[in-house]
Amino acid sequence: MRSFRYICIAVLFAAFFLTGGCLPSPPEGTGGRSITLFGFSIMKEALEKEIVPAFVVKWKREHGEEPAFVSSFAGSETITNQILQGAPADVAILSIERDADRLVEGKAVTHDFHQSPHKGIINKTPFVILVRKGNPKGIQDFPDLAKPGVQIIHPDPVSSGGAQWSILSIYGSELKKSEAETGTADSGRALRTLQAIWKNVTATPGSAREARTSFETGYGDALITYELEGLLMKQAGAAVDMVVPKSTIFSEHPAVLIDRNVDASERPMMEAFIAYLWSDDAQKAFVKYHFRSVTNESFNDANKEFADIEQPFTIEMFGGWSKAYPEIIEKVFRDQVQKK
C-alpha cells in the first residue's frame, strides 16, 4: 500500500514535470522573423482579419519570406506606456497623435512621423452616441446626455485615447454649434455641457473596447464611442441604436515605427508594413471594418452604413494635439470638469 502511494505520487510529479517543464514554442514565420504590433483596442478586427494576412501574402510573394505577426491590443495610453517601459513593439497604431508624440519624447521613436504620408494618420472615424434600442431616453445630441437619470459609460481618459476624443468631441461640438448659431464660439457653454454630461458618467472602463463590453452586457443608457464600434455592434445584432450628433469630431489614428526596437535588417519589412496601411487594399479593408479612408474619400462610398455628419470637425479646430491636450484635456477637463 505504501509503495502504491509513492508510485502514484511519482507518476503525478513526472506528469507535472513533463507538462510544465518546457515553454510552448510560439508560431514562427518561414523566415523566422516577426513583426510585433501594438494596437489600440478597436484596431483588432480590421488588422487581424484582413490587413495583416493580406500583407503576409504580399510580402511572401515579393520576398519569399513569411513574417509572423505578434500582436497586443489595449487602450492607446496603456500600450504607449508599455512601449515607453520597454515593451518590444516594432509598430504601434495609436488612437491619438499625442501618444505618438510621447513615444518621440521617450526616444522610442526617433524619426519625424509627421513627415510620413498623411502626417502618419492611417484612418479616421467620427464619434457618435450609442443608446439602447428605441432610444428610450430620447437622446438626440450631446446635451441630451446631461438629462437627469441618463447613465453614461465613458472610457477612462487616463488610459484610453477614445475617451479623450470623446471629450474633445463634446466640447468641440458645442463650440462649433454656438459659432454657427451666434457667430462666436462659446467656450462657457461648451464647458457647462461637458460638466453636466460628466455628472452622469457612472463607469470609466480602461479602453473604448472595454467600455463597449460593459455597455453590451447591459450596463448604462448611453456610450460615446467611435462610429465603427456602433456599426460593429449593430452588425453583431446588438439591441442598440446609433445617435449621430449634429456636430462631432473625426478621430484620426497614427501608425508609427518604433525605431528603438527595429534594427537595420528588419527595417525594410517594418517600413513596408506601415506603407501598406496606406495602400488601396488596406484602406478598402479599413472601410469594410467601418473605419473611414484617409487616402481616398470615394472608398468611403462603399460603406452604406456611414453616417452623414452635419458639422464635422477635426483636431485642427483646437490647433492640433499639441494644443488640444494641454488646453482642453488638462485645463478644461481635468481641472474644471473632473475635479468638480
Partner 1 sequence: MSTNLSKVRHVRGFDLVKPFSITAMVAIMLPLVFLPLASIFIFGTSSGPQKFWDALMAPEAIFALKLSIVTSFWATVFNVFFGLFAAYVLSKYNFWGRNALIVTISLPTAVPTAVAGFALLLLWGPYGILGRYLEPHGIQIMFTATAIILANIFVTFPLAFGVIKPVFDTMNTSLEEASATMGATRWQTFWYVTLPSLRGAIVSGALLTFARAVGEFGSTILVSGNLAQRTQTAPLYIFAKFNEGQVEAANAIAIVLVVFSFLIFSILFIARDWLETE
Binding site for partner 1 (CB under 8 A): 2, 5, 9, 12, 16-17, 19-24, 26-27, 36, 41, 44, 70-74, 82, 85-88, 207, 209-210, 212-213, 216-217, 236
Is 255 in contact with 118 (CB distance < 8 Å)?
Answer: no
Q: CA-to-CA distance for 181 and 188, rounded, in angstroms?
A: 15
Instruction: Compute the least distance from the CB of residue 16 to partner 1, in Å.
Output: 7
Instruction: Compute the least distance from the CB of residue 151 to partner 1, in Å.
Output: 19
Backbone angles phi, psi at 17, to 5 degrees: -65, -40
Instruction: Compute the least distance from the CB of residue 210 to partner 1, in Å.
Output: 5
Instruction: Compute the least distance from the CB of residue 77 to partner 1, in Å.
Output: 14
* 73/325 with CB nearer partner 1: 73
Instruction: Compute the least distance from the CB of residue 169 to partner 1, in Å.
Output: 22
3-state secondary structure (DSSP) of residue 313: strand
- Indicate the DSSP class of residue 24: P
Residue 42 makes CB contacts below 8 A (sequence gap 6+) with 162, 208, 209, 226, 228, 229
Residue among 74, 82, 38 nearest 161 (CA):
74
* 81/187 with CB nearer partner 1: 81
The cell 515593451 sits on which residue? 87
Residue 257 makes CB contacts below 8 A (sequence gap 6+) with 90, 91, 109, 111, 113, 267, 270, 271, 274
* 206/245 with CB nearer partner 1: 206
Instruction: Compute the least distance from the CB of residue 215 to partner 1, in Å.
Output: 10
- Indicate the DSSP class of residue 110: -
Q: CA-to-CA distance for 299 and 285, rounded, in angstroms?
A: 10
* 216/266 with CB nearer partner 1: 216
* Cα four-point dihedral sign 263, 267, 271, 273: negative
Is 90 in contact with 109 (CB distance < 8 Å)?
Answer: no
Instruction: Compute the least distance from the CB of residue 103 to partner 1, in Å.
Output: 14
* 11/180 with CB nearer partner 1: 11
* 7/302 with CB nearer partner 1: 7
- Indicate the DSSP class of residue 15: H
* 220/245 with CB nearer partner 1: 220
Instruction: Compute the least distance from the CB of residue 313 to partner 1, in Å.
Output: 29
* 93/170 with CB nearer partner 1: 93
* 22/184 with CB nearer partner 1: 22
Is 46 in contact with 8 (CB distance < 8 Å)?
Answer: no
Residue 161 makes CB contacts below 8 A (sequence gap 6+) with 40, 75, 76, 77, 94, 95, 96, 98, 99, 208, 251
Instruction: Compute the least distance from the CB of residue 262 to partner 1, in Å.
Output: 15
Instruction: Sort residue 290 into left (φ over 0), alpha (ψ -120 to 50) or beta.
Output: left
3-state secondary structure (DSSP) of residue 88: coil
